[in-house]
Structure 1
Amino acid sequence: MAETQTTLKKTIKPSQAWALALGAILGWGAFVLPALRFLPTAGPLASCIGFALGGIMLLFVAMSYGDMIGKYPVAGGEFVFAYVGFGPTAAFICGWALALGYICIIALNASALALLFRFLLPGVFEVGYLYTIVGWDVYAGELAMLVAILVGCGWINYRGADLVGKIQVFLAIALVGGVFALFAGTTMHETSSLSNLFPLYAEGRSPMASIMAIVAIAPWLYVGFDTIPQAAEEFDFPHEMATKLMVTAIICGVVLYSMVTLAVAGLMPYKELLALDVPWATGHVAHISLGKAGSVILAIAVSAAIFTGINGFFIASSRLLFSIGRARILPAWFGDIHPQHGTPHKSIVFVTLLTIIAPFFGREVLNWVVDMSAVGTVIGYLFTCLAAYKVAVAFRSEETTSKKIIFAAIGSVSSIICILLLTVPGSPGSIGTESWVALVLWTLLGAFFYKMKMSEFKGLDLKTQRSLMMGGVDLPVFFKK
């Protein structure tokens, strides 16, 4: 009887959805990348301008997502939106492009805990050396810690989205509070000065090239707002609120990225900071400006960022697999729903199993796959914006349709720009050779899987397809079968 249930339990509140998005957007990178990438490749001012421009580009994408959620409030996000606009093949491309990336982002966030503990508690978990893979030492102690954490996160998600949402709100508050404390501590420190922010742009690069170096990685920086459409079926509030939640999450992401970067750059001349032999510049700045309390505050903020990222992408990946399974493109058991908790429990177990395997490959290999997944993410953006354009044109009678058409068009152009920035050789955001190899292998595997599975689905009549895609809800589509 429980297996006949086809829709997920509605438990997610607005604050919980917003916290899911913000936590997935910010993640560990906001605290690690200022000294590793933002300041060396762009400089303080160019970084902040790049954050803002990248955020603006994705605001238009988010508005198209909001329009689609309002009309298609079901799990699956881009997978369903691509089907609505362009049919089964486009849906498969989107789903396949996103699935591996979402899961690897979970594992990469978890591995960031290993980095954090190596800084805060050196040697505690670095026991039982096993092997080195692409420069990353793998220890049994760290693997045991990561497996325990990932199993715990999987169990929390198994128990229900409402529990995850409540935890996510608490973690988001800790994350935002930590960023504000770090920013306040550095700006009020006696050595803090605007002169420390010079040069404002990266040396050896023009201001425009410095800014574009940050804009180019905007798809990676702000990936996470699309956890909201993946969970749309579980909203316990009007779906029209989704646009505001995504937009405000992206804007907050812009502000918080900028605050951390300026905090790191403003305590001392940032060129001197980058030249220091310290394992983690952000941690060094927190300790100087706030003492031991600063290290504790930063550890709490980074831990909150990591766990919000893990939970956000647990939601996104499991709901995506659930939607594909419900459509019978993946084995049907992916679409099963727990009779008590109302969660896609088998998809969650599958995601948990994959994520506990991933750390065995080392952090650098996970980085390659996550970089590759940025391309898949932007492909999802593009299909969603194009589908939103087709839907808006079809609903011309609505008063706001002209605005929606314009936003969808701008979002589509923004998505194409992001794709070019990620794939054109020589672009400041172009993915590396290893990521290209991973992308080709994943594409070939997808082509094989498509040939094996999609002919059956495409052979179904349109009404049956729509029912499987949307959990029995009969909603219009805009492609010719």
Structure 2
Amino acid sequence: MEERKQLERSLKPHWVWAVAFGSAVGWGCFVQPGAWMGQAGPLGAIIGLCIGALFMIVIGLSYGTLVKHFPVSGGEFAYAYASLGRIHAYICGWFLTLGYLSIVALNATALALMVKYLFPSVVKHLLLYTVAGWNVYFIEIVIASLALFVFCILNIRGGGLSGKWQFIFCLILAAGVLFLGISMSISPDTSFHNIKPIFKPGTSAISGILAMVAIAPWAYVGFDSIPQVAEEFNFSSNKALKLIILSLVAAGLVYSLMIFVTAMSAPWQSLSTSIWGTGDGVDEVLGHVGMFVLAVALCMGIFTGINGFIVSTSRLMFAMGRARILPQAFAKLHAKYKTPYAGIIFTCSICLLAPWFGRNALNWIVNMSSTGVTIAYFYCCLDAYKFFRWSKQSKGDRLIAPVKKAFSLLGILFSMAFLALLVVPGSPAFLNKPAWIALIIWIIIGTIFYIINGKTFRSIPKAEMDYLILGKESQTDNMASLEKTN
């Protein structure tokens, strides 16, 4: 067998938590509260996102179980292979790659959008063209491209370095959110009356809440960065589940607090139609100081989103390259820094194209990518379900763990519910036509790619593939380890 390349164990627990939390709390936390209130009202938005966080924690239990026993790069890709085989592993990895790439691109363009809002006279120069009603300026392309270049270099120089900076960014973000929350609560210019009506008039409370629950896979995507970097833990993989839960709880609290901050600043219905309702509200109440803090917190959210998903995408592509479903260049490590530099460079290079297509066109892809992420959640829960038995009377040689099997089954049902909200006509979060077109195109590209590369992927002997993906020479070895550690 060819020697299996392996990543260095350089990530500390709080760095890994920061990768997950920072990826989950991106630009949307600071930009979208006005739009969310417009869908469900302040309390409806908070309830919906909190329910979504609880659902994601249930799904996260399956992740924590599998990370513990398969601490390898690739996350869902590796778990789908171990449980369902090569084709399902490829499907899962293909959709997840799209989801991660889209979020890197979206965060990069969000940085340009923020600068455009704060300093329009600086950005609105050199108009190039208009795409789907969005004016594309050369300066905003430069801003997004520069951010991608900086984080590309940071990630190539080491997983530990990017993890350390991720933690620093998260601390600054949390401090900014706390400042805004406290300042809005004690300001004489804010009022709890601004939060009324607590649900959107003309829409049932349940419908509004369901619309918010439906975006949970997008809002909280990032906690699954933890499985992607499991190979780089410098601590026991037993801690993975705790880190997943802590990252989701923290993300839910930050989302809720930013909705509260926005709703307190002015009658929320007047902010729900604004380009940046949160910015308008903070500027009105706290002035330049508040806007500075909000801008810094937003920058940190964008930075953690870009950095975290570059980490996740490159590790996923590293695992797929190691399995030879992607070119083996993705499985190579940097001679000095021991990082999967090909995946990092590829991710940033592809995302450099995003600012040229305009924000609205990119939103179509991002909306569709929620479907891909949800499919990955479904696979992970199904994989965990297959690893356990209900009782001794159950067939198979899996470990008897009825509680874990029950939670994984619940995760399957939640994942299917999330997917139904996106793809069933008439649901509150049904994908729009451009998103469906983008999804179909991605499926066609994936099918063509598999036809071209699938022969090599399928020809590798099973024992060798087990070794390349799972780090052990057979799934039997993994199951023996599973039973031993439980």
TM-score tier after normalising by the smaller chain length: over 0.9
Q: Which residue of 1 aligns with 2:361?
A: 365
SS of corresponding position for 2:121: coil
Question: Measured at CA, do residues 84 and 200 of structure 1 come closer, stay the same or move farther in structure 2, by a change above 3 Å?
Answer: same
Query: CA offsets, 1:63-119, max 9 Å, x none?
Result: 100100011100001111111110001001011111122112111101011111112
Whole-angstrom CA distance in 1 between matches of 2:136 and 2:43: 37
Pick from 60, 65, 73: which aligns with 2:71? 73
1:116-265 pair list within 5 angstroms: 116-265=114-263
Whole-angstrom CA distance in 2 between matches of 1:319 and 1:151: 18
Q: How many residues align structurally?
A: 471
State whether residues 30 and 278 of structure 2, in contact with CA within 8 Å, keep that contact through their aligned partners in structure 1: yes
Deviates more, 1:60-69 or 1:133-142: 133-142
Q: Which residue of 2 aligns with 1:353?
A: 349
Whole-angstrom CA distance in 2 between matches of 1:391 and 1:397: 7
1:384-463 pair list within 5 angstroms: 384-393=380-389, 397=399, 401-463=401-463
Q: Which residue of 1 aligns with 2:393?
A: none
1:7 lines up with 2:6 in the alignment: yes
1:45-56 pair list within 5 angstroms: 45-56=43-54
**What code does the residue aligned with 1:359 have?**
P
State whether residues 189 and 267 of structure 1, in contact with CA within 8 Å, keep that contact through their aligned partners in structure 2: no
SS of corresponding position for 1:202: coil
Q: Which residue of 2 aligns with 1:323?
A: 319
SS of corresponding position for 1:11: coil
State whether residues 178 and 300 of structure 1, in contact with CA within 8 Å, keep that contact through their aligned partners in structure 2: yes
Q: Which residue of 2 aligns with 1:299?
A: 295
Query: CA offsets, 1:157-210, max 9 Å, x none?
Result: 001110001110110011111111111111111132222211111111111111
State whether residues 59 and 247 of structure 1, in contact with CA within 8 Å, keep that contact through their aligned partners in structure 2: yes
Give 1:247 deviation, angstroms: 0.7
Q: Which residue of 1 aligns with 2:93?
A: 95
Whole-angstrom CA distance in 1 between matches of 2:60 and 2:276: 33
**What code does the residue aligned with 1:454 have?**
G
SS of corresponding position for 1:142: helix
Question: Measured at CA, do residues 44 and 459 of structure 1 come closer, stay the same or move farther in structure 2, by a change above 3 Å?
Answer: same
Whole-angstrom CA distance in 1 between matches of 2:341 and 2:266: 50
Deviates more, 1:4-13 or 1:468-477: 468-477
**What code does the residue aligned with 1:58 have?**
M
**What code does the residue aligned with 1:355 have?**
C
State whether residues 156 and 344 of structure 2, in contact with CA within 8 Å, keep that contact through their aligned partners in structure 1: yes
Query: CA offsets, 1:2-23, max 9 Å, x none?
Result: x956100111111111111111
Deviates more, 1:61-70 or 1:333-342: 333-342
Whole-angstrom CA distance in 2 between matches of 1:35 and 1:125: 24
State whether residues 127 and 142 of structure 1, in contact with CA within 8 Å, keep that contact through their aligned partners in structure 2: no
Query: CA offsets, 1:418-454, max 9 Å, x none?
Result: 0101111121111111010010011011111112222
State whether residues 382 and 411 of structure 1, in contact with CA within 8 Å, keep that contact through their aligned partners in structure 2: yes
State whether residues 171 and 304 of structure 1, in contact with CA within 8 Å, keep that contact through their aligned partners in structure 2: yes
- Residue segments in structure 2 that go unaligned for 5+ positions in a row: 390-395, 480-486
State whether residues 187 and 267 of structure 1, in contact with CA within 8 Å, keep that contact through their aligned partners in structure 2: no
Give 1:395 deviation, angstroms: 7.1
Give 1:317 deviation, angstroms: 0.6
State whether residues 64 and 241 of structure 2, in contact with CA within 8 Å, keep that contact through their aligned partners in structure 1: yes
SS of corresponding position for 1:124: helix
Whole-angstrom CA distance in 2 between matches of 1:218 and 1:153: 26
State whether residues 172 and 308 of structure 1, in contact with CA within 8 Å, keep that contact through their aligned partners in structure 2: yes
Give 1:461 deviation, angstroms: 2.3
Whole-angstrom CA distance in 2 between matches of 1:185 and 1:71: 45
State whether residues 185 and 289 of structure 1, in contact with CA within 8 Å, keep that contact through their aligned partners in structure 2: no
Q: Which residue of 2 aligns with 1:341?
A: 337
Pick from 310, 313, 321: which aligns with 2:309? 313
Give 1:471 deviation, angstroms: 4.4
Whole-angstrom CA distance in 2 between matches of 1:279 and 1:348: 33
SS of corresponding position for 1:329: coil
SS of corresponding position for 1:418: helix
Deviates more, 1:82-91 or 1:355-364: 355-364
Q: TM-score, normalising length from structure 2?
A: 0.94
State whether residues 6 and 471 of structure 1, in contact with CA within 8 Å, keep that contact through their aligned partners in structure 2: no
Percent of aligned positions that are identical: 39
Q: TM-score, normalising length from structure 1?
A: 0.95
Query: CA offsets, 1:37-62, max 9 Å, x none?
Result: x1111011111111111111111110
